[in-house]
């Protein structure tokens, strides 16, 4: 069995699509596999872009290139290198999509989990839309045309459209004090009174950061450190300090 990065990513995308349109099996299992496969594809397309810049960039420690068993980058580090070393600019929403795909895949693979169907569909739409755009813009791969000729395209399009269609409608709410950005939709649709997103139904809670900032943040955005949680900016500060020591 031999797959290069692009073939491997494409295989994961195909696998996701088979599961999206498969109505013969329980829906929850299919959605779980779709999120896993799409997250896998995201990781691989990011790595492919690094490899095209230089094959060593895909290794956590670049000087271990060309050892085949050396550790390869996490998606976080891949994004960081794409921006700092390759000079690519990823939009804030795309970075959030990559981040949430990593988290969802992690809980699916290592913990008990519950993802409401609507949330799962929003995440799938964001991941699909990202993979198709990124592979076209940065890897010159036209996976979209192939999808367009897929007889199941209308079904697939429902997922990738959700995001685009709704983003304009609720974007104004970002300026409304009673609403916050939903960690799932990334739109200003999270009702801070009801603690629920009015668009995808995502429920969340505000907790206090135990890091330096001590500020309130939405629980699902944090990173668990033992029994405590750090807010995203303290996690980033922490990671930056850690990386700094290492190099
Ligand atoms: Zn939402
Ligand atoms: Zn903090």
On average, the pLDDT of the chain sits at 85
Give residue 169's pLDDT band: very low, low, confident or very high (50, 70, 90). very low
Per DSSP bridges, beta strands 196-197 and 190-191 are: antiparallel
Q: How far apart are CA 162 and CA 101, in angstroms?
A: 17
Q: pLDDT: is 218 or 238 the higher one?
A: 218
pTM (2 decimals)?
0.75
CA of 201 to the centre of ligand 1 (A): 6
Residue 99 Cα to ligand 1 midpoint, Å, equals 16
Residue 60 pLDDT greater than 80, yes or no = yes
> What domain range includes position 161?
5-168
Give me the helix-helix angle, 92-110 and 27-53, nearest 10°. 120
pLDDT over 50 (residue 170)? no
Residue 223 Cα, ligand 2 centroid: separation in angstroms? 10
In a domain, 56, yes or no: yes
Cα(18) to centroid(ligand 1), Å: 25
pLDDT band at 163 (very low <50, low <70, confident <90, very high): low
| Number of structural domains found in the chain | 1
Residue 151 lies in a domain: yes
135-139, 164-168, 202-206, 240-244: least confidently modelled range: 164-168
Tell me whether residue 47 is in a domain.
yes
What's the pLDDT score for residue 246? 40
pLDDT in tens, 77-120: 999 999 999 999 998 888 988 998 888 888 898 888 888 888 88
Quick one: which ligand is closest to 213's CA? 2
Tell me the chain's radius of gyration from C-alpha atoms: 19
Note the ligand closest to the C-alpha atom of 223.
2
- Examine residue 245 and state whether it is found in any structural domain, yes or no: no
- Cα–ligand 2 centroid distance for 214 (angstroms): 5
Torsion of CA 209, 210, 215, 216, to 10 degrees: 30
Residue 34 inside a domain? The answer is: yes
Contact criterion met (CB below 8 Å) for 98 and 130: yes
Question: What separation in angstroms does the CA of 22 have from each of 15, 16, 34, 155?
Answer: 11, 10, 11, 11
C-alpha distances out from residue 64 to 59, 67, 69, 77, Å: 7, 6, 9, 16
The reply to whether 241 falls in a domain is no
Task: Specify the pLDDT at position 152.
Answer: 77
Is the model's pLDDT at 143 over the cut of 90?
no
CA 4 to chain CA centroid, Å, is 22
Ligand with smallest separation from the Cα of 163:
1
Give the three-state DSSP class for 243. helix
- Residue 14 maps to a domain: yes
Within-domain flag for 16? yes
Q: Is 196 helix (H, G, I), strand (E, B) or coil?
A: strand
Long-range Cβ contacts of 209-212 (<8 Å, 24+ apart): 209/234, 211/235, 211/237, 211/238, 212/237
State the pLDDT at residue 41. 97
- Sheet strands (E) in the chain: 179-180, 190-191, 196-197, 206-208, 216-218, 223-225, 228-230
38 SS3 class: helix
Instruction: Quote the pLDDT of residue 160.
Output: 65
Cα–Cα–Cα angle for 20, 25, 28, rounded to 5 degrees:
65
- Could you read off the pLDDT of 12-57 as tens digits, one per residue? 999 998 898 888 988 888 889 999 999 999 999 999 999 999 999 9
């Amino acid at each position: 069995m031999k797959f290069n990065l692009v073939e491997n990513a494409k295989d994961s995308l195909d696998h996701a699509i088979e599961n999206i349109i498969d109505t013969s099996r329980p829906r929850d299992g299919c959605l779980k596999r779709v999120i896993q496969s799409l997250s896998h594809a995201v990781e691989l397309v990011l790595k492919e872009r690094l490899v095209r810049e230089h094959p060593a960039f895909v290794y956590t420690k670049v000087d271990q290139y060309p050892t085949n068993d050396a550790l390869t980058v996490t998606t976080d580090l891949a994004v960081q290198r794409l921006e700092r070393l390759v000079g690519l600019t990823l939009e804030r929403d795309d970075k959030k999509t990559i981040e949430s795909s990593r988290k969802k895949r992690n809980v699916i693979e290592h913990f008990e989990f519950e993802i409401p169907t609507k949330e799962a569909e929003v995440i799938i739409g964001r991941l699909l839309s990202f993979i198709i755009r990124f592979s076209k813009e940065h890897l010159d791969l036209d996976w979209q045309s192939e999808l367009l000729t897929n007889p199941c395209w209308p079904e697939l399009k429902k997922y990738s459209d959700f995001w685009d269609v709704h983003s304009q409608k609720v974007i104004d709410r970002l300026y409304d004090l009673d609403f916050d950005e939903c960690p799932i939709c990334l739109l200003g649709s999270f009702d801070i009174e009801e603690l629920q997103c009015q668009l995808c139904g995502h429920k969340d809670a505000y907790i206090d950061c135990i890091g330096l900032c001590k500020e309130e943040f939405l629980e699902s955005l944090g990173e668990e450190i033992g029994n405590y949680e750090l807010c995203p900016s303290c996690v980033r500060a922490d990671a930056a300090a850690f990386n700094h020591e290492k190099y």
